[in-house]
Structure 1
Amino acid sequence: MFDVIAVPVDGSNYGYQAADVAIEIAKRFNSKIAAVHVLEEFSFSSYDSEEDSGDAILAKITEKANEAGIEVIEHLLTADPLRDMKFIIDQTRADLVVIHAHGANNNRFVSFDENNVSDTQIGSVSERLIRNSEVPVLLVK
């Protein structure tokens, strides 16, 4: 049913929770995982340190998935996660995207309840992906 499951990860506990869900689904459907980490185009950190951090995040997902017998394809990219996530997911040829409602930057939320933090609040990248993805998106909370 799902050949490739994309899981965007940002190094937060939220991202790792989404990866755990993706691994469970991949086991059930004998799928591959496309682990995606985006290095933001404009960062105050050095590119080398950002790249090393991204490699470590992807390696953690790969190790856990490999222990479960799941093949992982790592994607470390420089882009704008808010603007480019749909394109990135399209390029992985994913049949399903598993992403957490919240990311490492908890300041960028879209709330469906005006000016109120609630269970309906999700991160801006997740919200944009839900609206624009042509494949199913599983939002992990």
Structure 2
Amino acid sequence: MFDVICVPVDGSEYGYDAAEVAIEIAQKFSSKIAAVHVLEEFSLNSYDSEEDSGDAILAKITKRADEVGVEVIGHLLTADPLRDMKFIVDQTRADLVVIHAHGANNNRFVSFDENDVSDTQIGSVSERLLRNSDVPVLLIK
């Protein structure tokens, strides 16, 4: 049913929860995982430290998937996650995206309830991907 499941991960617990769901789905459908970590274009940290952190995040997901026999292809990219996530998903040739509702940067939220913090609040990257993706998106809360 799903050949490639894309899971964007940012190192947050939310991201790892989404990866766990993606791995479970991949197990059931004999799918591959395209794990994506985006290094933000403009960061105050050194590129080397950002790259090391991204490699560690992808390695953690790959290790977990290996334990249950799921193949992971890691993608460490420099981009703007808000602007470029749809393009990145398209490039992985995914037929499903599993993404977390909230990310490491909890300051960027979109709420469907005006001026109210609620259960319907999701991160800006997730919201944009839900609106623009050409493939199904499974939002993990």
**TM-score, scaled relative to structure 1:** 1.00
Over 3 Å off, 4+ runs: none
Per the alignment, residue 44 of structure 1 pairs with 44
Shift of 1:57: 0.2
Per the alignment, residue 96 of structure 2 pairs with 96
Per the alignment, residue 6 of structure 2 pairs with 6
Per the alignment, residue 87 of structure 2 pairs with 87
Per the alignment, residue 129 of structure 1 pairs with 129
- Could you tell me which runs of 5 or more consecutive residues in structure 2 were left unpaired when the two chains were aligned: none
Per the alignment, residue 112 of structure 1 pairs with 112
- Could you tell me which runs of 5 or more consecutive residues in structure 1 were left unpaired when the two chains were aligned: none
Q: Distance in 2 between matches of 1:47 and 1:114?
A: 38
Q: Distance in 1 between matches of 2:33 and 2:55?
A: 16
1:2-81 alignment, distance < 5 Å: 2-81=2-81
Q: What letter matches 2:42 in structure 1?
A: F
Q: Distance in 2 between matches of 1:43 and 1:100?
A: 22
Q: Deviations over 1:73-114 (max 9, x none)?
A: 000000000000000000000000000000000000000011
**TM-score, scaled relative to structure 2:** 1.00
Q: What letter matches 2:70 in structure 1?
A: I
Shift of 1:59: 0.2
Cα RMSD of the aligned pairs, angstroms, is: 0.3
